């Protein structure tokens, strides 16, 4: 096959990658075996001895929760991370935000834990989930959560049930992992959210008493780092929490893996051969024995073959390998697979196919615009106030003084509009402290979730990942569409 045809085949394969890679812990959108890509850095997040895993939306919290919850996928993860003992786990779900027999959703939570409930009631609710998981593990049947509330309220009965099952598991050399996910869906008010999280953290801490009954909590960093939580041992949980992140080599490894295992495999293999590199079988990729999954130098050579070496005529505009990572990060410098793959997909669909490349620098810049739009849309699902807060800032040149940013919000009556909308539609407002709702607090909310940042000179800034979709300007930066 001619080189141009090979490149066109790879271009089409990138363009055909799934645009939405979101998954759930269980149900219709659980992960699939062919979707598993296992970066070395994610081993700690799957370690059964690490009870708390934090990560932004889109980094894979629900994906790994779903992998842990399915025996076949857990076996593949055990092959990727052989030191974790994943093949010796029985995994059951606690809260997952989804209805059905496997997990618990908000409707079930609200039915069993009324709005008037206090901290002790909340602790009983989470302990009941642990007892339900033990019952499922021991008997394999489906047991109503409500049936375990009474036993969970009696400390001696509860501890006896847990200890008995722990002894059985210890004798078998196995462990029970109780997975909690999608905790942002558990409450729509700050007091309720804090009540639930504090009680859950207390239960997680107490479960240290049993080696073979282990919790695994996936949640966002802003949930874990809420200073209003009062649990005395919370600093220790925060210190030991694992941050689920993707490095640049992980993201390129994911893209190249999709090409290596997809329909364009033979053409991608031919391209690699021309560079003196090799393609790898799926087992070698899963166990990280393929250099293109971790070697930045080799990855950059492939990206040069795909898109050319630079974003402009020379190195001053940045390399095509480094540019996507440096422009797709949030304020914490974190890049998600959704954003990275979204940029690559949009770049492969942009303009006419070049004769000697797969994608172009202009296509990559267009990909940033597409990824930015998608990221803000996704963020809106988690924080329904986000678009209404960003809209008044359109046209501002960043970085900008706080007075200018706050003034734009003040003229648009943004704060009062957000407060009214949150009350009307029943979602969590950005204002976490009762009675404190203003432009400064709005900035703090955006800073807390990585959408805005303050420079050392005091001016406010916004990462390109959000700035482009929000139609803010930046000297020398990619212009909004």
Task: Report pLDDT for 5.
Answer: 84
Given a cut of 90, whether residue 449 has pLDDT beyond it is yes
Task: Report pLDDT for 2.
Answer: 74
Check residue 115 and report its DSSP letter. T
Whole-angstrom distance, CA of residue 437 vs CA of residue 431: 6
Please list, residue by residue across 221-252, b when 16 or more beta carbons sit within 10 angstroms of its beta carbon and e when fewer do: bbbbebeebebeebeebeeebbbbbbbbbbbb
Task: Report pLDDT for 178.
Answer: 98
Tell which residue, 76, 102, 71, has the closest CA to residue 181: 102
72 upstream amide cis, omega within 30 of 0: no
For residues 415-443, give the mean pLDDT: 92
Given a cut of 70, whether residue 186 has pLDDT beyond it is yes
Share of the chain above pLDDT 90, in %: 86
φ, ψ of residue 358 to 5 degrees: the values are -95, -45
List pLDDT tens digits, range 208-264: 999 999 999 999 999 999 989 989 999 999 999 999 999 999 999 999 999 999 999
Average pLDDT score over the chain: 94
Burial bucket for residue 476 (CB in 10 Å: 0-12, 13-18, 19+): exposed
Within 10 angstroms of residue 389's Cβ, the number of other Cβ atoms is 23
Mark residue 120 as left, alpha or beta (left: phi above 0; alpha: psi -120 to 50; beta: remaining): alpha
Task: Report pLDDT for 142.
Answer: 67
Given a cut of 70, whether residue 47 has pLDDT beyond it is yes
For residues 82-90, give the mean pLDDT: 96
Query: Cα–Cα distances in Å, from 149 out to 118, 121, 123, 216?
Result: 15, 10, 10, 21
Helix (H) or strand (E) holding 137: helix 119-139
Given a cut of 90, whether residue 317 has pLDDT beyond it is no
Task: Report pLDDT for 21.
Answer: 65
List pLDDT tens digits, range 250-296: 999 999 999 999 999 999 999 999 999 999 999 999 999 999 999 99
For residues 165-174, give the mean pLDDT: 97
Contact 198, 229 (CB under 8 A): yes
Which residues are within 8 A (CB) of 97 and not within 5 positions of it... i.e. 6 or more apart?
103, 105, 106, 181, 182, 183, 184, 185, 186
List pLDDT tens digits, range 26-35: 887 889 988 8
Contact 21, 210 (CB under 8 A): no
Given a cut of 80, whether residue 448 has pLDDT beyond it is yes
Contact 113, 104 (CB under 8 A): no
Task: Report pLDDT for 202.
Answer: 97
For residues 359-372, give the mean pLDDT: 96
Task: Report pLDDT for 89.
Answer: 97
> Which has the minimum average pLDDT: 46-50, 100-104, 253-257, 332-336?
100-104
């Amino acid at each position: 096959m001619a080189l141009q045809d090979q490149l066109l085949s790879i271009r089409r394969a990138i363009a055909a990658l799934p645009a939405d890679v979101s998954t759930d812990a269980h149900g219709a959108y659980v992960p699939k075996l062919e979707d598993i890509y296992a970066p070395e850095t994610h081993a700690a997040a799957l370690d059964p001895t690490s009870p708390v895993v934090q990560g932004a939306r889109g980094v894979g919290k629900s994906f790994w929760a779903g992998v842990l919850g399915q025996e076949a996928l857990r076996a593949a993860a055990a092959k990727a991370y052989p030191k974790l003992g994943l093949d010796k786990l029985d995994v059951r779900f606690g809260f997952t935000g989804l209805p059905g027999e496997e997990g618990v959703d908000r409707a079930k939570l609200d039915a069993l834990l009324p709005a008037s409930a206090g901290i002790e009631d909340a602790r009983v609710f989470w302990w009941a989930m642990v007892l339900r998981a033990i019952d499922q593990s021991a008997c394999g049947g489906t047991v109503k959560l409500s049936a375990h509330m009474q036993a969970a309220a009696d400390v001696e009965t509860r501890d006896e049930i847990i200890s008995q099952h722990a002894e059985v598991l210890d004798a078998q050399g196995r462990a029970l992992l109780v997975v909690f996910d999608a905790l942002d869906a558990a409450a729509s008010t700050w007091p309720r959210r804090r009540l639930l999280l504090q009680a859950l953290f207390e239960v997680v801490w107490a479960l240290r008493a049993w080696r073979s009954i282990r919790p695994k909590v996936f949640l966002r960093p802003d949930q874990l780092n809420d200073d209003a939580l009062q649990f005395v041992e919370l600093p220790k949980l925060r210190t030991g929490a694992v941050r689920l992140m993707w490095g640049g080599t992980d993201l390129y490894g994911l893209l190249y893996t999709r090409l290596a295992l997809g329909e364009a495999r033979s053409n991608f293999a031919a391209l690699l051969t021309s560079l003196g590199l090799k393609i790898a079988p799926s087992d070698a990729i899963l166990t990280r024995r393929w250099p293109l999954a971790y070697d930045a130098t080799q990855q950059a050579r492939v990206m040069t073959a795909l898109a050319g070496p630079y974003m402009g005529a020379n190195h001053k505009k940045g390399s095509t390998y480094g540019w996507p990572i440096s422009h797709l990060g949030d304020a914490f410098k974190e890049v998600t697979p959704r954003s990275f793959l979204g940029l690559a997909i949009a770049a492969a669909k942009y303009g006419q196919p070049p004769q000697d490349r797969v994608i172009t620098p202009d296509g990559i810049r267009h990909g940033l615009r597409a990824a930015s739009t998608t990221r803000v849309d996704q963020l809106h699902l988690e924080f329904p106030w986000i678009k209404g807060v960003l809209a008044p800032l359109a046209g501002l040149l960043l970085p900008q003084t706080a007075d200018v940013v706050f003034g734009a919000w003040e003229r648009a009556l943004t704060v009062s509009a957000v407060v009214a909308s949150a009350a009307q539609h029943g979602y969590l407002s950005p204002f976490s402290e009762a009675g404190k709702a203003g432009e400064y607090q709005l900035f703090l909310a955006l800073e807390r979730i990585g959408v805005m940042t303050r420079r050392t000179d005091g001016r406010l800034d916004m990462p390109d990942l959000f700035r482009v979709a929000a139609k803010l300007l930046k000297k020398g930066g990619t212009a909004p569409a």
